[in-house]
Amino acid sequence: MSDVSGLAGKFDSWQRMSFDPARCPVRDVLDHLGDKWTTLIVIALAGGPRRFGELNRSIPDISKRMLTQCLRNLERDGLITRHVFPTSPPSVEYRLADLGRSLLAPLQALVEWAEASHQSVRDARLRFDGVPSNT
């Protein structure tokens, strides 16, 4: 319970300080991490280094353009590293950086919660939308 009250207390203190939303560290970091592609890329890289094509095949519904953009953002944020090998043609491999690896434990907790809560969320959406239950 103290963790939850700590979160609420932090939020309340931000509001009392008239915290500048443009400088909010939570918004700044979660802007990139909150999208589905970034999370899936980090999860894919948790198993080890991957080349662009491997990542693209492991997340089949992402476009090459979106994958490229997300990889650049992750590299810019210091979560992944890009390694170019002097082959012909050059091959590129992506790996989690130390900062990216530090994200894995909280991300695993969120993924486990999502898996455990998925059906409850789907049921709540149906109730909200007024769709009759199958039970």
**pLDDT attached to residue 55:** 96
**pLDDT attached to residue 133:** 67
| Residue spans of the chain under pLDDT 50 | 1
Q: How long a stretch of residues is the chain? A: 135
User: Strand, helix or coil at 81?
Assistant: strand
Contact (CB, 8 A) for 38 and 32: yes
* Model confidence, pTM: 0.82
User: CA 45 to CA 101: how far, in whole Å?
Assistant: 9
Residue 95 lies in a domain: yes
> For the domain that residue 62 is a member of, what is the CATH number?
1.10.10.10
Report how many domains make up the chain: 1
User: CA 42 to CA 78: how far, in whole Å?
Assistant: 12
Among candidate residues 116, 121, 123, 111, the one with its CA nearest the CA of residue 36: 111
**pLDDT attached to residue 63:** 96
Residue 11 lies in a domain: no
Written as six digits, the tokens of 89 are 């043609």
